[in-house]
Amino acid sequence: MHLLVRGVQHRISGEILVPNSKYHAHRALILASLADGESRIRGLSDARHVEYTVRLLRGLGVGIVREGDTFAVRGLGGRYRPVRDTVSAGSSGTTLYFMTGLAALSDRAVTITGQKYFRNRPVGPLLRALQEMGVRLESANDRPPLHILGHRPTGGEVTVPGTLSQWISGLLLLAPFATGPTTVTVTGALNERTYLELTVAMMRQFGLQVTVSPDWRRFDVAPHQSARPTELTLPPDIGSAAFGIATAALHPCDVLLRGMPSLTGGPADHPEFHFLDIARAMGVPMERDPVAGGVRIRQDAPLLKAVDVDCRDVPDMLPVLTALAAFAHGESVFRNVAHTRLKESDRARVMLQLNSMGAELELSGDTLRVTGVDSLAGARLSSYNDHRVLMSLAVAASRARGRSTLSYPHAYRISYPGFLDMMNTVGVPASVEKGPARSAGRRARGPVREPLRSVADPDRACEVTLPEWLARHAASRPDDTALVDVRPDGDRTVTWSDLAGRVDKAAALLLALGVRPGENVAYQLPNRLEFVVLSLAALRIGAVCCPVIPFFRARELGFVLRRSLARVLVVMDEYRSRRPAQEALALAATGGPDTAHLEHVVVLARPDGGSRPPQPPPGGVRLHDWETALKTTAVDRAALDAVRPKAAATAQLLFTSGTTGEPKGVMQSSSNLVRAVSMEIRHLGLGPRDAVWVPSPLAHQTGFLYGMTLATVLGVPQILQSEWDARRALGSLNTHRATFVQAATPFLADLVKAVEELGSAPRHLRIFVATGAPVPRPLAEHASEVLGTKVCGAFGTTETCLGALSRPADAPERRWGTDGRALEGVRLRVTDDRGEVLASGAEGNFEILSQTVFEGYLDRPDLTAEAFTPDGWFRTGDLAVLDASGYVRITGRVKDVINRGGEKIPVGEMEQLLFRHPAVDDVAIVAMPDERLGERACAFVVLRAGARLGFEEMCRYLDGHQAARQYWPERLQLVADLPRNPIGKVRKFELRARARHLRPHTQ
């Protein structure tokens, strides 16, 4: 695997969230572990280096708990109680150097080790200094593993080379707990003084006293000290911010670094603060932006100056400063670089690789000289598994011509896990590929790129709104396909850049129509480009998407308009055999309450221009043509950018399908929607090479969320089809290389029939998630064979999003024989009517606890309250069985239960059994009234073409499958089709209404 970076020449822009300081985090965690009581450290660092410190401290018996963005550390008062004989420092030098001596405070011997390659790191100077302090230890060849005896140090006169500050800091952290006074004297050159200043400052913050000489070469520490519990907040990490600053500095840009409170400070604030001074000296135009809350870099053309730097002041900044100097005017000189050659790699020599790209670097003794050049060319490079080298070379490659590849592509995770996201966010394409690295001039075929880390991390992904995801992709992959609109008159392909431009234009139109943040925008559109554009445009200005199913008529449309108070409605002029625009205007002409708030109707004409314009609207409702309105609307970029919707704000108002009664308006936040698709991306392992086929209506949650939203977050093409036709669908699946689809049973069944008729299966389809209604198991099994794809069972609701989902790797009987298992972060349970949780295998009420549960029903707090149990679980209204492995199987709806004289009939199981009959194409079982038993079962059956089935034959079939007689339907009603809502759910309340007038067959 390798890191692929494509050099860019265009302007880059975006926002970078600066992480919290890993340097402060290491020291704070260690000092808190030594205190007597609980310390709280706010502002977590996600650097893997810090995680190694956490793991090692836990191995020594320290209680460390994450509470939101806070570490709660229960210190042991200067005495560790190891829970393991061996603890690991991973690949963190800081963890190793700090904790080697402190491990002596354990109540028994402990061995410290590290990752395999890390065990070659010599630590002899530190070990000898610790022995002078009275630490008893054993080591072969002055390298890990290190065996430390549990024996409190005695203190004394200690000398240590000033080569690495971490050696000195490790001694200082231990000295207050010695039995006698300690004096630490630094010999030779003193490097990295700023890190020592941070160590001493933080020790004093925890109540530990250190006396320091003016030249920082002598430290006196009194014995028998106690650290006090402390609360503190970690500052921003300049070491990570440096890579965002450097990337911006090399390009025309407008980049904001959020989380940096100022551009001035001192070493105690951050040991690498001097980097900012050097960057300013090089001409990087950094300015504090108090309104946006960060530091902004804005320039039309980069113009960097050469510098002369003493690397003892910025020890870890040499690689990234070298990348900047490669493009600066004149010769930059980096002095005193010898100690940088003792880091994870020989950093001074490794950066000479820039010469292979056309740079001019010369290393002589203790000095590195860099003469700036106008441009570099892409090349194959090695990071030597050094995180700072990898990131610095990637920054330089961002301005090189062509492609560059770097080995050890994941090294950045050790200190700056958000680095790859940062590069892509500002518009530099960077991705991890499998396979051997290719030369800069050779084009890779079908790269397998690692998804951005944040895409598959729900906690991080949900903080980014859909318009922000669109902006990221438009910047990082402007010419890649974002959407394919499959239409009878020809397919239309739209790139990410084009989509972003259309969205901005539509957002400007909505602002011109008076739409404001928080307002509901209603639109009744089929699956076509304009639906996606309008949805993202509404979200771009903080409005709420209120889509209406295209099949709805005036009654349902009026209900949505009345409840949503929408002032803007967007509709088609013609759709199939209907005139939706005329229907909407006729509704408005009545002057009734349904359209009391409606002010604007925007009409989309037929693409061939053959539409007849609707009649002028009555009263105060204004009529607009979509294309004309867009052409005459100017985009005010400042006005658009002034609106910054929050992820927690309501983004969607979706009315339920009304299969059980009056539709309810479900309110979902942007955070919930993005989190939900990120959970599925993670669960299924979807990535950048996927393409999402969207046959389900975008106006329903399945299409809106697991079609449009999923594709937008993942940054892959979405393939839309406005009019369902299975044969055309099969063609578009192949033409546009669709790999993933989530849709209901009818789409799956029709696609199977099309394949059987045409004899050709979709060539690229990997996963079909069957949702919206329980998929008949025989159909799922047959579809898996016919389509050559993995059919996965799932369960979700408009209110909760997906709660359960199987995986492609599951055994077939679980993949399509169940409705999946809980996604990460979701809890499932089955209860009886008293609310008691039932054991696995028992049927009961299915309930969900999830972070993607809706905000509530619009204007119906009563219904919202009814939807939840007293302890906060959502009542799905379904019956289910959970097995011992956590897989769920939906057995029916609570309201569909048939109570036959006190015996509850398992409706779902009987439907599945009847579906297997060779004559049956579709089936639904509902209750019909009975004076004696209360209810009996009636089976509504759709037969296959040319097939016959009578009541007596049905009974013989059920008897042959040993179904209990009490469960048999007592009437067979043959119908041409079953009434379904747009996503495939059977409208059983309609069937129950028909069954009221039916009577049982005599048996």
Distances (CA, A) of 358 to 397, 430, 479: 11, 21, 28
Confidence category of residue 133, pLDDT binned at 50, 70, 90:
very high
pLDDT digits (tens, 9 = 90+) for 718-772: 999 888 888 888 888 989 999 999 998 888 988 999 998 888 889 899 999 998 6
Confidence of residue 902 (pLDDT cuts 50, 70, 90): low
The pLDDT tens digits of the residues spanning 903-952 come to 778 788 788 889 989 999 999 999 998 877 778 999 999 999 999 999 99
- Is 316 assigned a ligand-binding role in the annotation? yes
Whether omega for the bond prior to residue 145 falls within 30 degrees of 0, making it cis, is yes
pLDDT at 120: 59
pLDDT of residue 660: 47
Q: Which of the four pLDDT bands, split at 50, 70 and 90, describes residue 117?
A: low
- Count CB neighbours of 257 within 10 A: 23
Question: Active-site residue 374, yes or no?
Answer: no
Buried b (16+ CB within 10 A) or exposed e, 133-158: bbbebebeeebbebbbebebbebeeb
Per-residue pLDDT of 167-190, as tens digits, reads 999 999 999 999 999 999 999 988
Residues 6+ apart with CB under 8 A from 834: none
Helix (H) or strand (E) holding 737: none
Residue 446: its pLDDT value, please?
Answer: 34
Question: For the segment 838-869, what is each residue's pLDDT rounded down to a tens digit?
Answer: 999 999 999 999 999 999 999 998 899 999 99
Higher pLDDT, 657 or 682: 682
Of 214-223, 657-666, 683-692, 917-926, the least confident: 657-666
pLDDT band at 447 (very low <50, low <70, confident <90, very high): very low
Which of 157-161, 510-514, 530-534, 770-774 has the lowest average pLDDT?
Answer: 770-774
Q: What percent of the chain has pLDDT over 70?
A: 93
Catalytic residue chosen out of the listed positions 269, 316, 386, 810: 316
**d(Cα 493, Cα 851) in Å, to the nearest integer?**
35
Q: Residue 526: what pLDDT?
A: 94
Judge whether 93 is annotated as a binding position: yes
Residue 361: closest CA among 373, 369, 353, 372:
369
Residues 136 and 111 sit within 8 Å (Cβ to Cβ) = no
343 annotated as belonging to a binding site for a ligand: yes
Q: Is the pTM of this model over 0.85?
A: no
Average pLDDT on 387-414 reads 93
Q: Given the DSSP bridges, would you call strands 718-721 and 308-310 parallel, antiparallel or unpaired?
A: unpaired
Nearest-angstrom CA–CA distance, 45 and 59: 20
List beta partners, residue 403: 6
pLDDT at 262: 66
- Per the prediction, the chain carries an average pLDDT of 89
pLDDT at 965 over 50: yes
Is 489 one of the annotated binding-site residues? no
Listed ranges 120-134, 251-265, 439-453, 568-582; the one with the highest mean pLDDT: 568-582
Q: What's the pLDDT at 444?
A: 33
C-alpha distances (whole Å) from 778 to each of 550, 666, 676, 908, 918 are: 31, 33, 29, 13, 11
The pLDDT value recorded for residue 284 is: 96
Q: Please state the rounded mean pLDDT for residues 873-884.
A: 92
| Residues 290-313: tens digit of each pLDDT | 877 789 999 998 999 999 999 887
What confidence score (pLDDT) does residue 55 get?
A: 92
Q: What is the CA radius of gyration of the chain?
A: 33
**Is the pLDDT higher at 581 or at 43?**
581
3-state secondary structure 113-146: ECCHHHHHCCCHHHHHHHHHCCCCEEEECCEEEE
46-93 residue pLDDT tens? 778 898 999 999 999 999 988 777 899 999 999 999 998 999 998 888
pLDDT for position 304: 95
For 597-637, what is each residue's pLDDT tens digit? 999 999 998 655 555 666 666 667 899 999 999 999 999 98
Domains of the chain: 2-18+236-450 (3.65.10.10), 22-232 (3.65.10.10), 455-478+491-686 (3.40.50.12780), 897-1003 (3.30.300.30)
pLDDT for 897 beyond 90: no
Confirm or deny that 165 is annotated as ligand binding. yes
678 is in an annotated binding site: no
Q: What is the pLDDT of residue 894?
A: 79
Contact by Cβ (8 Å): 421, 455: no
Print the SS3 string covering 642-676: HCCCCCCCEEEEEECCCCCCCCCEEEEEHHHHHHH
Give Cα 624 distance to the centre of its chain: 38
Q: Is 166 annotated as a binding residue?
A: yes
- Two structure tokens written together for 662: 């009056």
Max CA separation in the chain (angstroms)? 105
As a whole number, mean pLDDT of residues 270-279 equals 83
- Asked if 181 contacts 142 with a C-beta cutoff of 8 angstroms, the reply is no
DSSP-derived letter for residue 774 is: P
Looking at residue 790, the DSSP 8-state letter turns out to be E
The 10s digit of each residue's pLDDT in 510-524 is 999 999 999 999 999
pLDDT in tens, 565-591: 999 999 999 988 889 999 999 999 888
Please check if 121 is assigned to a binding site.
Answer: yes
Given a cut of 50, is residue 451 above it in pLDDT? no
In this predicted structure, what is the pLDDT of residue 14? 87
